[in-house]
Structure 1
Amino acid sequence: MAWEQLLSIYRDAADEQRAERDSPPQACPQDGQPLEEGPDGELFCRFDGWRPDGSYIGV
């Protein structure tokens, strides 16, 4: 494997990690339930009230 190939693999992995970090979460990390839009327009987990910003909504 050439150094250029290894560098390309590293750059691709970094790009994928950046894209995943910058995209909004799709599911609750605590229970895996899909996130839904709450009454205030923000994403939340209907099961336990988790929100991506770290706050909780009463359910």
Structure 2
Amino acid sequence: MTEIIADAGKMGWPKTLHLVKMQFKGVEKIQHYFKKDAINFENCGGFAILKDIQCLEKMA
């Protein structure tokens, strides 16, 4: 999440959202062509631990 906030600071939210969508579609394409076991893929989710509220305020 902090990478997304940093990207938004550099290129703005619309371009950052587009980048995230492209990354997601890329993962979907890889999953279409390769079995999860073949590429050792695990959909584990993800999370970030933020030490202060400032990062979240940037998203609002």
Give the greater-gyration-radius structure (CA): 1
Q: Give TM-score, length-normalised by structure 1.
A: 0.39
Which structure carries more helix by proportion? 2
Instruction: Select the structure with the greater relative contact order (CA < 8 A; seq sep ≥ 6).
Output: 2
Q: Give TM-score, length-normalised by structure 2.
A: 0.38
Which structure carries more strand by proportion? 1
